[in-house]
């Protein structure tokens, strides 16, 4: 842990004023202030020794924070929310991939690029891209452009979704469902959800974690298509695909934490403390993500991938609201 210490301490120190600002201005929320402070300070040159800890905070600390949130959640609610989001999720998944393929072809983008953007929009941002990339044997430039594009709209979603949710008068559950099914990355879902309200954040987190489980079947389907196409072309038909490598294991620990809370083993005060600790560490993770964000660099990566990402993002957000309205959720 020694190499991570400096970066983690930096993110932790910046998270403290972000946490205070979030409590002072709850309509904005600590996660948004965390990203903002991180992005502001990202322009200040820092020693390379901080980078491992910052990256660790933006990925692993986020996963640990979600596990801690499980201690304030009832498993019966997890099951019911996950079940109710399934119909919305199916439509948003199909929308993301269909729109990505159609618009990608119109923009004359590489099929691997469109697949990565579609997967990132449909499932869980960078994690989905990282999972699908070895399956389709994507090139480094495709991965870089896709992750940059998805991350750009993740950041925008944190600021735009809560505002639009209040403007449309969405309930906590309505906004949670919308954020959980329409925002790409887990970090942005969590940030937007808890910026709206604690109840919306809890709901959005459960929906998003249920959606993240779709990494496994989607990658299995894509791997099957890749293997089939290779065999048809006379290739070896092998793949780097491994379920154990792509499965988001922190989701299982989130469920374990929910089971512990559901059984009542822990005192309510302890469960509450662990849940609040999880929310604070979400802010730490947001700070780390902000520290690694260079929006100017992202915008310079290319207009076409950004255009594809925007159309997919807009389509998924719209379909999520339409499906929710049609089945009476909002």
Hey, is 50 helix, strand or coil? helix
Q: Which range among 8-12, 108-112, 235-239 shows the weakest confidence by mean pLDDT?
A: 235-239
Q: Collapsing DSSP states into helix, strand and coil, what is residue 245?
A: helix
Q: What is the pLDDT of residue 134?
A: 74
Q: 150 vs 298, which has greater pLDDT? A: 150
Helix H, strand E, coil C: the string for 123-166 is: HHCHHHHHHHHHHHCCCHHHHHHHHHHHHHHHHHHHHHHHHHHH
Instruction: Give the residue carrying structure tokens 């119909």.
Output: 87
Task: Write out the two tokens for 120.
Answer: 């990132």
pLDDT at 237: 47
Task: Give, as one character, the DSSP assignment of residue 122.
Answer: I
Among 246-255, 287-296, 318-327, the least confident range = 246-255
Q: And the tokens for 155?
A: 């950041």
Q: Is 70 exceeded by the pLDDT of residue 245?
A: no
Token pair of 54, please?
């910052």
Residue 238: is its pLDDT beyond 60? no
CA 158 to CA 191: how far, in whole Å?
Answer: 6
Among residues of the chain, what percentage have pLDDT more than 70? 86
- Residue-level pLDDT at 301: 59
Share of the chain above pLDDT 90, in %: 22
Helix, strand, coil shares of the chain, percent, nearest 5, are 85, 0, 15
Both structure tokens of 200: 């919306």
Question: Who contacts 173 (Cβ-Cβ below 8 Å, separation ≥6)?
Answer: 199, 200, 203, 329
**Tokens representing residue 202 in the block:** 């809890």
The reported pLDDT for the residue numbered 77 is: 66
Name the least confident of 73-82, 114-123, 276-285.
73-82
Task: Inform me whether the pLDDT recorded for 296 exceeds 90.
Answer: no
- Counting beta carbons within 10 angstroms of the beta carbon of residue 213, is it exposed (0 to 12), middle (13 to 18) or buried (19 or more)? middle
Neighbours of 166 (CB within 10 A): 13
pLDDT band at residue 314 using 50, 70 and 90 as cut-offs: very high
pLDDT given for residue 240 in this prediction? 55
Q: What is the per-residue pLDDT for 140?
A: 65
Q: Which range is least confidently modeled, 17-26, 49-58, 72-81? A: 72-81
Q: What whole-number distance in Å separates Cα of residue 4 and Cα of residue 144?
A: 24
With contact defined as beta carbons under 8 Å apart, do 288 and 58 qualify? yes
Rounded-to-integer distance, Cα 294 and Cα 219, Å:
30
CB half-sphere exposure, 116, CA atoms < 13 A: 31
pLDDT at 185: 78
Question: Whole-angstrom Cα distance, residue 169 to residue 71?
Answer: 29
**Cβ atoms of 215 and 123 closer than 8 Å:** yes
Calpha distance 183→158 (Å, rounded) = 9
Q: Where is average pLDDT lowest: 16-20, 120-124, 203-207, 211-215?
A: 211-215
pLDDT digits (tens, 9 = 90+) for 216-225: 788 778 877 8
């Amino acid at each position: 842990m020694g190499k991570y210490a400096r970066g983690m301490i930096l993110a932790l120190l910046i998270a403290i004023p972000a946490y205070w600002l979030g409590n002072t201005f709850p309509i904005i929320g600590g996660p948004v202030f965390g990203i903002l402070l991180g992005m502001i300070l990202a322009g200040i040159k820092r020693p390379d020794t901080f980078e491992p800890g910052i990256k660790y905070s933006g990925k692993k600390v986020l996963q640990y924070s979600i596990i801690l949130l499980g201690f304030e959640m009832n498993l019966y609610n997890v099951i019911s929310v996950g079940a109710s989001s399934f119909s919305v999720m199916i439509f948003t998944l199909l929308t993301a991939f269909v729109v990505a393929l159609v618009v990608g072809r119109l923009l004359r983008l590489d099929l691997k690029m469109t697949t990565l953007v579609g997967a990132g929009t449909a499932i869980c941002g960078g994690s989905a891209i990282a999972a699908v990339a070895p399956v389709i044997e994507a090139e480094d430039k495709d991965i870089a452009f896709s992750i940059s594009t998805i991350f750009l709209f993740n950041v925008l979603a944190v600021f735009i979704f809560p505002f639009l949710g209040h403007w449309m008068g969405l309930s906590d559950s309505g906004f949670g469902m919308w954020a959980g099914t329409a925002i790409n990355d887990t970090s942005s879902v969590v940030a937007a959800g808890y910026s709206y309200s604690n109840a919306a954040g809890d709901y959005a987190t459960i929906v998003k974690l249920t959606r993240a489980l779709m990494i496994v079947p989607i990658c299995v389907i894509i791997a099957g298509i890749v293997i089939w196409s290779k065999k048809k072309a006379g290739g070896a038909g092998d793949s780097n695909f491994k379920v154990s490598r792509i499965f988001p294991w922190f989701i299982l620990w989130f469920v374990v934490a929910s089971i512990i809370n559901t059984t009542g083993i822990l005192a309510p005060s302890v469960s509450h403390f662990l849940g609040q600790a999880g929310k604070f560490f979400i802010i730490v993770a947001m700070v780390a993500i902000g520290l690694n964000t260079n929006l100017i660099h992202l915008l310079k990566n290319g207009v076409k991938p950004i255009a594809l990402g925007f159309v997919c993002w807009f389509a998924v957000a719209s379909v999520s609201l339409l499906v929710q309205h049609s089945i009476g959720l909002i």
